[in-house]
Each structure stands twice: as C-alpha cells, then as structure tokens.
Amino acid sequence: MQKIDILSYSINIPGSINVLTILLAVFFIAFLTAMATSAQGNSNGKIIDITIQTFAFNSQSVKISAGDTVRWTTMDSADQAVAGSICKSGIIPRGQNYDFRFTEPGFYKYECSIHPSMKGTVTVVANK
Ligand SMILES: [Cu+2]
C-alpha cells in the first residue's frame, strides 16, 4: 500500500510542476501587462471628468496639465456635443462620454454645438 502511495506521489510531481509552471507564467505575463499598462497610464497623464448636466458643463472651467485627458460625460437625456478649436465630439448620447487628450499648453474655449449657450474652457499648462 505504502509503495503504491509513493509511486503515485512521484508520478503526480511532474504533473504538478507543469501546472505550477503554467500558472506562474500566466501570473508573470499578467503582472508584466499590468506594469506596462500602469506605466502607459502615467505617461498619458490624468483623466479630468466633466459632466454635462442640466445643459451645463460641470466644471465649466478646468485647469489641466499638457498630456491630460478631459472626459465629458452626458448625464442629460438630451444629446450633447463638445466643439472647440481642436476637439469635436459629434453627438454624445446620454450616459456616454467623449475623451480628448490635450497635449499643447494653451487656453481652449469650447461650446456645445447643439446648444451654443453651453460654454466651457480648458486651460492647459505645460507639464513640468
Ligand atoms: Cu448641449
């Protein structure tokens, strides 16, 4: 009995090692992917959220660093749209968003192309 146990144990070892090796490889690849993604996130700057609610941009004026991304999200039931000199969203339906990454320092005005009384500004300062 004991001999059989030892035999089955020694047979199982290589199988366990293979599974362990595969698991370790999978975790290692996942880890590398996570590291690469986070490094990329840093070089791409922050995400600044602006909600579009009750026909207004909130916040109406934001100050960001070059390389940051502004994300406009529509909360109104009406369609909205962001239109500036360098950013044009097209129609943003409710619950959806539009991302634009500002890479150049400057003062950017924009409005909603559907409701031009909706206005906002983005000030982009140089990334130190
Ligand atoms: Cu609008």
Ligand 1 centre distance from Cα of residue 112 (Å): 5
Quick one: average pLDDT of 11-33? 57
CA 59 to CA 52: how far, in whole Å? 9
- Residues 67, 91: one domain? yes
74 C-alpha vs ligand 1 centroid, how far in Å? 9
Distance separating alpha carbons of residues 107 and 125, to the nearest angstrom: 9
How much distance in Å is there from the Cα of 113 to the middle of ligand 1? Answer: 7
Neighbours of ion ligand 1 (CB under 5 A): 80, 112, 114-115, 118
Which pLDDT score, from 0 to 100, does residue 41 have? 45
Residues 66, 21 share a domain: no
> Do residues 39 and 57 both lie within one domain?
no
19 and 51 fall within a common domain: no
Judgement on whether residues 73 and 116 belong to the same structural domain of the protein:
yes
- Same domain (yes/no): 68, 108: yes
Task: State how far the Cα of 65 lies from the Cα of 123, in Å rounded to an integer.
Answer: 8
Domain coverage including residue 85 = 47-125
| 63 and 104 belong to one structural domain | yes
Asked whether residue 20 falls in the same domain as residue 58, the answer is no
* Count of structural domains, the chain: 2
Report the range of poorest mean pLDDT among 6-15, 17-26, 90-99: 6-15
pLDDT at 6: 45
Q: What was the pLDDT predicted at 11?
A: 45
The mean pLDDT value for 85-110 works out to: 97
CATH number at residue 62: 2.60.40.420
